[in-house]
Chains A and B, each alone.
Chain A
Amino acid sequence: MTPGAEITSAAPPALAGVRRRRPKFRARDWLERESVFSWVLLAPPLLFLLLFLGYPFVYGLFLSFFHMEVAREPTFVGLGNFVRLWGDAIFWKAVRNTAEFTVLACLLKMIGGLGMALVMNQNFRLKALSRALLLLPFVVPTVLSTVAWQWILDPGMGLINRLLVVSGLATTGPSWLGNPTLAMLSIILVNTWRGLPFFGISILAGLQTVPTELYDAASIDGAGTWARFRHVTLPLLMPVILIVTTFSIIFTFFDFQLVYVLTGGGPANETHLMATYAFALSMGGGQLGLGSAAALAMMPALALVLVLLTLYVRRA
C-alpha cells in the first residue's frame, strides 16, 4: 500500500504542475510568433495615429459637406462649400499665390542650395563651424526668425530701407510688406532663407558620396570644370535633389506660419496662401465647414506630388 500511495500521492502534484505551466507556455509561444509580436508592438502607435490623425482626417472630409458655424447646428449642404469656394475671388487669389510661392521659392532654394553645397564641398578652415552656422535658419523656430524679417522689412525703420536711405539710394524705401507684389516677393525671400540650408546640407551629403575616381577619370578624358559638373556631378546628384525638392514642395505648399506672421494675408487679402485663407475662414470667420473645404482643396496637389514621388521611387 505504501509504494502505491507514494505513486498516487506523487503523481497529482506533478500533473497539476504541468497543467499550471502549460497555458503560460502557450501564451508566451503565441506572443513569440513574429507576426503576433509585430502587431502587439504596432498597436499603441497605430491606435494613437488613428485617433489623432485618422479621425481628424475623416471628420474633416465629413465637415466639408456641412454648413457649420461655431456653436450652431450643422446642416448638410453637399458640395455647397466647394461651390462657394469656386466662386470666391480671394480663394482663387490664394490658389494662385500658393502656386507661385511654391514654384518660385522651391526653385530658388534648389539653385541656391546646389550653390551652397558646391561651396561647402571644398576644403577650408572652420568648415564644420560654417556648416553649423549656415544651417541655423532651418533650425530656429520659424516664428522668431520671421518676426526678425518683419523688422528688417519694416517700411519706416527697418534695416533695408534704413540702409537705402543712409546710402542715399532712396529718400524713402518701398513698403515691402504693404504692396501686394513686393509682399509676395518678400514672403518668397523669407521662405528661401529658411529652406536654403535644408537643400544645401542635403545636397552636400549627396556630393560627398560621389567617388573622386569619377572626377579623375573625367579629367583624364579631358573634361573641364563645367563638363565634370554637368556630366558627373549633376546626374549623380539628381536622386537627392529630386527627393529634397519633393519634400520641400510639400512643406512649402502647406506653409502657414510665415504668411500668418509676416503679412497676415494682407494687404486686402492679396497675399493669402491656401493654408492661411482656410485658417482665416474657419478661425477668423467661424465657418468651420467652409474652412475645412478650403483646407481639403489642398489635397489634390499633395496627392499629385505623392503619386509622382512613388512613380519615381518605383522606377529607380
Chain B
Amino acid sequence: MVGELTWQRRLFGLWLPLLVLTVFCLLPFVWMVITSLKPNAELYDPKAFPLAIRHPSLEHYIGLLKETNFLLWTANTMLVAVIATAISLILGTLLAYPLARLRFPGAALLAMTVGAAYLVPQTLLFVPMVDLVNRLHLGNTLSAVVLTYPTLLVPFCAWLLLGYFKTVPKELEEAALIDGASRWCAMTRVVLPLCVPGFISAGIFAFTLAQNEFLYALLFLTRSDIRTVSIGVVGELIRGDAFYWGQLMAAAFLGLVPVVAIYMFFVKYYVAGLTSGSVKG
C-alpha cells in the first residue's frame, strides 16, 4: 500500500473520529471539574473564557462538605448499593442455577418469565410500589430501597449468571455426584467456584445500576439524612437562587468518583457483563 494513503486513512478513519468521540463523551466531566474549581467571581464573569481556570479554589468542595449532608449521602449510597448487590447476587444465583444446569418441569416458562421480568421497568410499577412500601412500614428507611432495588437487579443478575453457569462442563458435577456429594455440595463446591468471573461481572454491573437508580430513591427517601447522592444533589443542592453551580458540580464530581474508581478497577468484567446479553446469548 502507498504510505501516504495509509497515513490519510489513519487520520480520517481513526484519529479524528476518535478525538470527536472522546471530546463528546468526556465534555460533561471536564466541565464539571472546571466549574467546581472556580471561585464564584470567576465562574459568573461573562468576559472570562469559560474553559480556563485562573484562580483555582476548593471553596465549593469545602462548602459542600460543611454545609450539606454530602458525606452521609455517599455512605448511604454505598451501603444501599452493596447490600442490594449482595441480595441480588444470592437470589440471582438461586434463580439461574436450576435454569442453567437442572431439568425440572416448567423450566421453559420460567426462563421466559425471568427474561420478561428483566425488561419490566420501574416506571411501570412505581405507584403500587409506594403502596407496598407503606404497607410494610418501610417509608423513609434505607430498607425500602434495599428491598426494591433487587427487583431490577435479580432478573438481570440471573440472566447474566445463566450464561456463565452453562459454560461449566456437566461432567464435573456428575463426577462429584458419583463420589457421593449432594446436589447442594456439587453446586457450591464444584460449579459456583468456577464461575467467579461471572459473579464479578454481575456484581460490578449490579453495583453501578444500584448507584444509578433514582426513581425509587426519590419516592422512598424524603428525609435528608437517609438520602442517596443522586437524590440529595437534585433535592437539596438545586436551590432557588442562581449561584449554586460550583457546589453542585463539586457534588456531582465527588459523587461519581467512587463509581468510576470501582469501574476502572474492574473494567474488563464490566465490559464482559455489558456485552454478554447481546453477543454471547
Among A53, A55, A141, the residue within 8 A (CB) of B259 is A141
Cross-chain contact B25 with A279 (CB below 8 angstroms): no
Q: Which residues of A contact B218 (CB under 8 A)?
A: 260
Could you say which residues of chain A place their CB within 8 Å of the CB of B245? 151, 154, 157
Q: Chain B residues near A288 (CB, 8 Å)?
A: 127, 131
Do B215 and A256 touch (CB < 8 A)?
yes
Interface 0/1 of B35-78, CB less than 8 Å to A? 10000000110100111000000000000000000000000000
Is residue B168 within 8 Å, beta carbon to beta carbon, of the partner chain? no
Interface residue B105 (Cβ < 8 Å from any Cβ of A) = yes
Question: B residues within 8 A CB of A306?
Answer: 116, 119
Establish whether residues B31 and A152, one from each chain, have CB atoms under 8 Å apart when the complex forms: yes
| Inter-chain contacts of B94 with A (CB < 8 A) | 41-42, 44-45
How would you classify the secondary structure of chain B's contact residues: helix, strand, loop or mixed? helix
Chain A contact residues: over half helix, strand or loop, or mixed? helix
B residues near A147, Cβ cutoff 8 Å: 233-234, 238, 248-249, 252
The contact size tier of chain B is 35 or more
0/1 string, B233-266, CB within 8 A of A gives 1: 1100010001001001101100110011001100
- A278–B214 touching, CB < 8 Å: no
Using an 8 Å CB-CB cutoff, how does the interface string of B147-159 with A read, 1 for contact, 0 for none? 1101100110010
Contact A140 B260 (CB under 8 A): yes
Most buried by A among B123, B129, B183: B123
> Is B110 at the interface (CB under 8 A from chain A)?
yes
Is A28 among interface residues, defined by CB-CB distance under 8 A?
yes
B267 CB to nearest A CB, Å:
5
Chain A residue at minimal CB-CB distance from B259: A140
Q: Nearest chain B CB to A309's CB is how many angstroms away? A: 9
Q: Considering the complex, give the chain B residue whose CB is closest to the CB of A143.
A: B230
- Interface residue? A226 (CB, 8 A): no
Closest CB in chain A relative to B280 CB, distance in Å: 9
Give the segment of A7-15, A179-187, A194-202, A215-223 that binds chain B.
A194-202
| Residue contact B49 to A166, C-beta cutoff 8 Å | yes
Query: A136 and B124: CB pair below 8 A?
Result: no
Produce 1/0 per residue, B185-227, CB < 8 A to A: 0000000000000000000000010011011001100000000
- The answer to whether the Cβ of B26 comes within 8 Å of any Cβ in the partner chain is yes
25 contacts between A and B (CB under 8 A): A41-B98, A49-B155, A52-B129, A56-B132, A57-B120, A59-B128, A116-B21, A124-B14, A132-B264, A133-B26, A135-B271, A142-B212, A144-B230, A148-B29, A148-B252, A152-B27, A152-B31, A166-B49, A201-B271, A202-B275, A202-B279, A247-B277, A250-B121, A296-B124, A302-B119
Chain B positions within 8 Å of A, measured between CB atoms, are 13-14, 17-18, 21-22, 24-29, 31-32, 35, 43-44, 46, 49-51, 91-92, 94-95, 97-98, 102-105, 107, 110, 116-117, 119-121, 123-129, 131-132, 147-148, 150-151, 154-155, 158, 182-184, 208, 211-212, 214-215, 218-219, 229-230, 233-234, 238, 242, 245, 248-249, 251-252, 255-256, 259-260, 263-264, 267, 270-271, 274-275, 277-279
